Structure formats: C-alpha cells, structure tokens
Structure 1
Amino acid sequence: MVAPTARRAWTTPADVTDRLRRRWMHGDFLTALAEQHPFEPLCIPLGGPKPSELTRDFDAVRTWVNTWNSAGQQFSRIEHRRVGGRVVGTNNLPHQAWIDHREQLWNLLGVTSAVHRFQTLLASAREATPELAAWMTAYPMKVLDLETDWERLHQTVRWILDYQGPPLYLRQIDVPGVDTKFIEGHRAILTTLLEHCLPADRIDTDAPRTSFTARFRFRGKPAYARFRLLGDTSVAGFSELTVRVDEFTTSPPGIRTVFIVENETTYLAFPPQPASIVILGGGYAVTQLAELQWLHDKRLVYWGDLDTHGFAILDRLRRALPHTESLLMDRSTLTAHRGQWVKESKPARGPLPSLTGEETDLYQSLVDDDFGHGVRLEQERIPFSAVQTALAGLQYLSTQPPHDERCPRPTGTT
C-alpha cells in the first residue's frame, strides 16, 4: 500500500477547484473582467503518481485516473503524459488541467450569478459615478461582500459628491433608505469610498478617519458647557445654564475665578465663592473649553479625580490653558484619605509634560504603584470640610502677590 502522505500529493479535481477559488477570492478574475482584459487560458499543473508508485499501488492510481476522467467535462481539456514502469508498462496519466473560457471558470466555481450581479452594479456606477467604478474594479470582492447595501452606498456617495451647499448634519443627507444609523453602520467603507471619489479640497485630512463628520466637513454635534454661578449673581435670572461652547464667547459679568470639576454631585454642591462660576467638565473632552478665549483672562482651577487619568486630563487642559491651577490633587490630600481609596482599573502611563514638579512626582508614584496597585481617590469621596478648607486657602492665595503663571501653583490642602 502506498503511504497516505504520498497519496495526498496526487492532485484531485477538488484541489484544483480550491486553488482557483482562492484566486477568485483575491478578486483577480473579476478585476480582469472589469478591465476588459481578454481571458488568458488557465493551466493548472497536476501532481500525480511517480513511476515507482504505479508498481506499488496500481489500484489507487487507476482510481485516481478514473476520478479525473469523470471530472474532465468540468475543464476544457485534460492533458496527459506518459509514465512508464518495467512491471506495469507505460501509462497515460493526467498532467495538466486547462480552462479556456471565463464562463467555464464561473461554472466550475459556481459564481456565475455573483459575476452577473457585480457587472450590474459596475455598469450602474460607470454611468453615474465613474470615480466609484474605478474603486469597484480594484476591489470587486468588497463590492460583493456589501452587495445588499451597495446601491445605497453608491447613492450616498453620489449625493455627497453633488452637494455644494453649506455644511449639513448627517441627518440631512436625502437618499432613500439612508439614515444616520445606516451611515454610522457603514462609516468605514463610506470613508474609504469618499476618500477615493471626493476632490482633495472636500476632505479635511487633519481630522482622524474615525471622525466621519469632521473629515468630510459635515456639522458635528456641538459641544456644550454647563455652569453654575457661585455667588449671589445670576444671568437673566438663572443661577445655572447649559450653553453651546461656540456661543459662550464672553464671560458672565463680574466673574474672576472659574472652577472645573468632573463629578456632577460635586458640581451641584460646590460651595458659594465670590465672583466665581463652576463648570462641569467632561473628562478628556474638557479641552473643548479651550475655545472659550475669555478663560485666558480668568483664574482657572481644575479639580479632578486623584488618579492617573485625573492628572492626564489636567495635563491636557493645561496644554490648552497653561495658567490652569489644580485643587486637591496633591500628595497630602491622597494620603489623608486612605480609607476612601478605590482601584483604578486601567491606569494611564504616558508622560505628562504640563504637570508641575509636585504633580509629576505624585503622578509617577501612582504609575509605579508606590501606594499600592491602582490607587485612586475619587473627588466625591473627599469630605466637604476638606473642600471648604482648600477653597479658603485659594481665597487667601488670591490676595498674595501673583506667581509666575508659567508654573501653575498647586493649591490642594487638607
């Protein structure tokens, strides 16, 4: 009996079909069709028995040959070669399989209907959106993967190409069957198609590819600032307002100090302070406040969680607004509240160049787990008496000669 490893080396019709199917999946056959290249006959070499195997396992060889004889009609022709043996004589064995026509290839792979569907989609694009047809020619299998949604994708690209008005929200794209959920669900492929089809001046290459609205100059959801007045003053009778950041162009009257906190309850309970407001931050989105140019002329105090991400947010804010001070984000505050520590699950670890020396030292201690693994002190866990003491210290410092604003002063106190 011939060894199993040897018998597996004899090419079967299924092996040939699998090999051709792999080439089909790469898209080469459809690309050649779309580019209208003449079909070049395909020759597939067949691995078959060696002369010594004819002698050892003639029955297995005969079965293999009969398999090819039965499958021969799937191919244009099967070429043979003579293989000889002193015991069994010379024999004609399958040597090469040929496919001479595209239609025969489509039938062998069972893809005739898929080819026709691709040709229909391609013809539509060539007529309406030639730029898209060029991409489809290069990536035909991606088109077939998305064929259920392709017409809507095509119409969306066509609509955006044709639109010449002022920036719109995605909701205003007027294509039948297309809504914001469809666009969000197909954001990656639409980004690719629009980058291929749109003129360069219609694409903001500084915006990340993940930001579809910004990259293709749609209107994004506006940023909002929620703030409370901390003294006895109000704005049009309101002590608390939420306003669009791009419209928050001037300071409320009489304000000298602006506090930024992250916890909503802390924001709501923040103690009265003269000539001050408190803004509810948004984590790393706090840098949206950099658009408020009037903040450069105010005393700006940030109080975030005492953990690595709190310092990362402080660093990001200070890069936009260098005069930002910190409140209750110091080593003495952390160590005075050991009973309130919780665990930070995914600490930040990158360099934070905008921190002061003391802040950097504490941040590095948190990164290095000097106090224990993932130590975190959330701002809402700090007693309000400590908050009031720290704020009193701020008011005292505000009466002292000004410090060099290039090195913001830490103001935390216990």
Structure 2
Amino acid sequence: MTKLNENWGRLPDEVYSHIKKLEWDKQKNLKERLMHKRKFPIEISLGTPTADQILDNMMYFKNFINQWKDFPQQHWIKWQDKKYNTLGLQRIPVTLILNNLKELFEFLGPDIEKRIEKLSKIIEPLTTYDQRFYPILIQHLSIVEQLTPQESINITSLLQQLTPNMGKGLYLRSLPLKGIDTKFLENNKILVSALLDVLYNNAIAQAGNLLKWLGCLDYPKGWLIVKPLCKKTQESLAGLPILQMDQHTLTHYELPANNILVVENIQSGLSLPELPDTIAVIGGGNNVNWLSAQWLKNKRVAYWGDIDSWGLKILSLSKTFCPHIQTLMMDEETLKLYKNNMVTESESYSDIPVNLDSSEKDLFIVLQSNKYNANRLEQEKLPNDYIQKKLKEWKNNQNF
C-alpha cells in the first residue's frame, strides 16, 4: 500500500497530484503501465486519523469526510467503520483503489483520457500490421504521440517498401518510394529503424544505422572552403574563385596545385594574397581528418593557425594525419613581433600536444607561462605585409 506522507486525512486533490506525478508524469512508469509491467491494483492510503488528531482539528476531519463522500467514483473508495472511545462510531475513507488502466486514466481526468484515445488511434494501424510493434511503440512514446493516425498508416507503407541495400549509391532523399515523401522518412527514421529491426531480426542495429542498412550515401559533412591563389589553379577549378568541398570529397579529390596551404580561420584565409601554384583550404578548425588523403603525400603542405593552445592542438592533430606538414607564422618570432596584439584565451587546452616539434612545444609552454601577460595571438592580428612576406618565403624556399 502506498502512503503519500505520514499525515492523516489526504484529500482528493493531494491524492490526484501524487498519482499523476507517479503514474503519468514519470515516463518510465507510464511506459511500464502501458506494457503491463506495473501491477494493479494501485492502492493509496488516505491516512486514517486517531481520535486525538480528529479532536485537534474537527473542521478538517469533517472536510476530509465530506470531500471523499462527494467523490464521484465511490466504488474506488474503501470505507471502514471505526469506533473511537471519545467520538463513537465513524465511517472513514481509508484507501483509494484503482484496479486497471481504464480506471487509472479515468481518475486522471478527461484530458488524459483524450490523449490515450488519440494514442490508441495512432498505434492501431501499426499493431494491426504487426502486433510485435506494440512494445517498440511504447518505448518511443514521445515520438509516437507526435504522429497523426494518417502518418502511422504512412509508416506501415514505408515498412513494406524499405528493403536492404535499396538505396545503394543514393542519398536518403533520393529513395524511390511510392506515395511517401522521403523527408517523412528522414523525420521518422528513429522509429522506422526500430520497427524495421523487429521485421528484420535487428539487422538495422547490426548494420550501424538505417542509412547503412539501406546502402545510402552519407550526407556530406565537414565542409571546407577551397580558394585557388593564382589564375592557373583557378582555371584548373573551372574558373571558380572560391568553392566548398566536404571532407569526404576533399580526401578523394586531388587539388590541382603543388602547394596546399591549410588555414584555420575563414577571414584570414579569404584575405590571402596571390601565390603561384597554391590552393588554400580554409576554415576547417578541428576538421583536419582529410589531411590523411593519399594525394597530399606528393604535395608541399603548410598549416597556419592562431598562436594559442587550441591552434597548437589542431596543428598537432594535423601532423598526425599529414606528418610532413610545415608550420607557418606559429612561432615565438611572430609572437615577439606582435605581442602587443595578444589577448587572453577564455579557456586553454592544458596538455602539451604530442605531435609538435621541440620549438612548437616550447612555444606552447611559453603561452602557458603567461610570459607575455597574454596567451593568444590571433591570425587576424598579423599585418598583411608580414603575412605576404612569410608566405613568399615558404613558396620560394623548397627546403623551408
């Protein structure tokens, strides 16, 4: 028997709040109820008072009795005749008892009854298609409640059309579905994946996700800006002065220049001067996995980023993927020249990055020591004439 607290005389509103919080507001408990994993009956003690408690607050006792007498579903209330030495025989409500889901939802009120009725209409087409779907639908209750009955019917249509590897060489939005738009599939892929796992013996989970099971291409991600720095390289890129590539494409597409300049920040990359036989890849930040590309092994590659703990961390990560990458304008010489332009990082990376060379590790330690009363020199704080000079030195010195 569940007790709300140690006080006597729990009123209907208090009992309602307790049951709603326990049985409806807590999603875990609600799901267990809907899957018949929580046992009935629900029994709530109403708190039988002692004679002293009644005498101390007779008005509350009368209110307690009257409210439960007025409670419409009297068949849920267990009353008990109790004899008190000082008060005589009193008929006391002792327990609220709810025997099943129907009674629970009726007790919780018409708004919740409507939600359950709507939920039943949403679930029905799917459980009619396959009864095994019921626990999956309850597990994904918050998603299912957002559907309409028609959308539930549409999901049954999807389940009949989707087959392994049907999307080979296609993006998800290009699947040849009949009567269903692919955006609907994309918006509901979590639920659809779970239901397909029932039909295909967990094959979607084993494949990794729905896209892999369907054989679909991953959507492009990790976009980078590619900017040719001379007319020749621009002509080799269809005359485009600037373009974007995702990291997957860039890994497999060789850029038509012997010199590849990787620049951490977009604004600094867009303001680069003309540089023969050079293409800049700009604005990747931590997105440097593409530097593992095989075609880069035969290129001169340089990296230029902010002189701060995070810039040096990205440089170290870049060297993991491209060990022959060279470093530009990330040294103490640059730091000393423009120390007055330094600022303080809001949050610093603390561990010395492992793939830095000795001078770069020393620079990291200098930044941590606060030698210059600041620990960050942004790319944008370097003057253009200095940038041009250093880039020309790198371009012209093959032994740089």
**In structure 2, do the counterparts of structure 1 residues 201 and 119 end up closer, same or farther at CA, with 3 Å as the change threshold?**
closer
Which range moves more in the overlay, 100-109 or 113-122?
100-109
Residue matched to 2:304 = 303
Alignment of 1:12-411 (within 5 A): 12-21=11-20, 22-26=22-26, 28=29, 31-33=32-34, 40-71=40-71, 73-85=73-85, 87-110=86-109, 111-128=112-129, 132-140=133-141, 143-144=144-145, 146-147=146-147, 152=151, 155=154, 159=158, 162-163=162-163, 164-172=166-174, 180=183, 190-191=189-190, 194=193, 197-198=196-197, 201-202=203-204, 217-221=216-220, 223=223, 226-230=226-230, 234-235=235-236, 238=239, 240=241, 242=243, 244=245, 246=249, 249-252=253-256, 255-264=257-266, 266-267=268-269, 270-271=272-273, 273=275, 275-290=277-292, 292-349=293-350, 351-367=352-368, 369-373=370-374, 375-391=375-391, 393-394=393-394, 398-399=398-399
Which range moves more in the overlay, 192-201 or 317-326?
192-201
**In structure 2, do the counterparts of structure 1 residues 34 and 158 end up closer, same or farther at CA, with 3 Å as the change threshold?**
farther
CA contact (8 A) 1:125 1:132 kept: yes
Report the secondary structure of 1:376's partner residue.
coil
| 1:303 aligned partner, one-letter code | W
**In structure 2, do the counterparts of structure 1 residues 334 and 278 end up closer, same or farther at CA, with 3 Å as the change threshold?**
same
| 1:60 aligned partner, one-letter code | Y
CA contact (8 A) 1:259 1:279 kept: yes
- The CA distance in 2 between the partners of 1:197 and 1:128, in whole Å, is 12
| 1:352 aligned partner, one-letter code | P
- The CA distance in 2 between the partners of 1:356 and 1:158, in whole Å, is 59
In structure 2, stretches of 5+ residues that fail to align are none
| 1:56 aligned partner, one-letter code | D
- The CA distance in 1 between the partners of 2:38 and 2:366, in whole Å, is 69
In structure 1, stretches of 5+ residues that fail to align are 1-5, 400-410
Instruction: State the 1:95 CA deviation.
Output: 1.5
Aligned length: 379
Instruction: State the 1:118 CA deviation.
Output: 1.7
Instruction: State the 1:266 CA deviation.
Output: 4.5
CA contact (8 A) 2:260 2:300 kept: yes
Instruction: State the 1:23 CA deviation.
Output: 1.2
Instruction: State the 1:82 CA deviation.
Output: 1.5
| 1:288 aligned partner, one-letter code | W
**In structure 2, do the counterparts of structure 1 residues 286 and 71 end up closer, same or farther at CA, with 3 Å as the change threshold?**
same
Which range moves more in the overlay, 40-49 or 263-272?
263-272
**In structure 2, do the counterparts of structure 1 residues 389 and 69 end up closer, same or farther at CA, with 3 Å as the change threshold?**
same
- The CA distance in 2 between the partners of 1:257 and 1:95, in whole Å, is 85
**In structure 2, do the counterparts of structure 1 residues 349 and 8 end up closer, same or farther at CA, with 3 Å as the change threshold?**
same
| 2:228 aligned partner, one-letter code | R
Instruction: State the 1:80 CA deviation.
Output: 1.2
- The CA distance in 2 between the partners of 1:338 and 1:92, in whole Å, is 87
Instruction: State the 1:49 CA deviation.
Output: 1.3
- The CA distance in 1 between the partners of 2:298 and 2:231, in whole Å, is 19
CA contact (8 A) 1:51 1:83 kept: no
**In structure 2, do the counterparts of structure 1 residues 84 and 243 end up closer, same or farther at CA, with 3 Å as the change threshold?**
closer
CA contact (8 A) 1:300 1:323 kept: yes
Under a length normalisation based on structure 2, what TM-score does the superposition of the two structures give? 0.76
Report the secondary structure of 1:355's partner residue.
coil
- 1:287-318 CA deviation, whole Å, 9 max, x = no partner? 3343x311122221101122223222212222
CA contact (8 A) 1:260 1:302 kept: yes
- The CA distance in 2 between the partners of 1:307 and 1:117, in whole Å, is 57
Please report the RMSD computed on the Cα atoms of aligned residues, expressed in angstroms.
4.0
Under a length normalisation based on structure 1, what TM-score does the superposition of the two structures give? 0.74
Residue matched to 1:3 = none
